[in-house]
C-alpha cells in the first residue's frame, strides 16, 4: 500500500508540473498564478565558475546577487504588465517550451508539503532569430492546495547550469 501511495504521489506531482509547463507555454499566465502560493519565494541565484575546492560558493547565497528574487506581488505585476501589450521584451510574445523531467520527491517539514527537485529545459524563441535555451534544476516546495490543481508552489529556487546568460532579457517564467 505504501508503494501505491508513493507512486500516486509521484504521478500527481509530475502531472502538476506538466500542467504548470503547459500553462506557461500556452501563455496562460493568469491561470499559472493560481498555482503560486501567497507566500512564494521565486529565486534564481547567480552561478559562478569556481574551482573544485570552492564548490560550496558556486551559487550566490541569500541576500546576494540573484537573477530573480520575487514574491507573489511581483509575479502578479509581471503578469499584468505582459497583458498590457507594452512589455517591450515580450512584443511580439516569446514562444516557449518547458520540459520537466527527473522529478524527485521528499517529504518536507510540514504535513502536506513536499520538497521536489526536477530538471528542466526551457526553449524560447522570439521574432525570427532570437533563440534562448536554459537548462538546470528547480528546487520547489509544493503544498497541497484546494486550487483545482491539487498543489501550489510555495518556494521555487532555480539553479541554471550556465554561468553566463546570453538572452536579451529574462521575461519568461521558469
pLDDT, tens only, 68-92 = 999 999 999 999 999 998 888 898 9
Model pLDDT for residues 4-38, shown as the tens digit of each residue: 888 999 999 999 999 999 999 999 999 999 999 99
**pLDDT value, residue 48:** 87
Give me the DSSP letters along 18-83: HHHHHHHHTT-HHHHHTTEEEEEEEEEE-B----GGGGGGSB--TTS-EEEEE-HHHHHHHHHHHH
Instruction: Output the nine-digit C-alpha cell for 171.
Output: 521575461
pTM of the model: 0.93
Domain ranges of the chain: 2-160
Do 21 and 100 meet the contact criterion of CB atoms below 8 Å apart?
yes
**pLDDT value, residue 82:** 93
CATH placement of domain 2-160: 3.10.450.50
Q: Answer yes or no: is pLDDT of 1 > 70.
A: no
Amino acid at each position: 500500500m505504501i508503494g501505491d501511495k508513493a507512486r500516486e504521489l509521484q504521478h500527481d506531482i509530475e502531472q502538476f508540473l506538466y500542467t504548470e509547463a503547459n500553462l506557461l507555454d500556452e501563455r496562460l499566465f493568469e491561470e499559472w498564478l493560481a498555482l503560486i502560493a501567497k507566500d512564494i519565494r521565486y529565486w534564481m541565484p547567480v552561478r559562478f565558475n569556481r574551482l573544485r575546492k570552492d564548490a560550496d560558493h558556486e551559487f550566490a547565497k541569500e541576500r546576494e546577487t540573484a537573477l530573480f528574487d520575487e514574491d507573489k506581488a511581483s509575479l502578479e505585476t509581471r503578469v499584468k504588465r505582459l497583458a498590457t501589450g507594452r512589455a517591450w521584451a515580450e512584443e511580439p510574445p516569446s514562444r516557449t517550451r518547458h520540459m520537466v523531467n527527473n522529478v524527485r520527491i521528499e517529504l518536507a517539514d510540514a504535513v502536506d508539503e513536499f520538497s521536489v527537485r526536477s530538471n528542466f529545459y526551457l526553449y524560447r524563441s522570439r521574432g525570427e532569430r532570437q533563440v534562448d535555451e536554459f537548462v538546470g534544476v528547480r528546487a520547489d516546495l509544493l503544498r497541497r492546495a484546494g486550487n483545482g490543481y491539487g498543489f501550489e508552489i510555495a518556494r521555487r529556487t532555480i539553479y541554471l547550469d550556465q554561468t553566463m546568460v546570453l538572452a536579451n532579457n529574462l521575461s519568461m517564467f521558469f
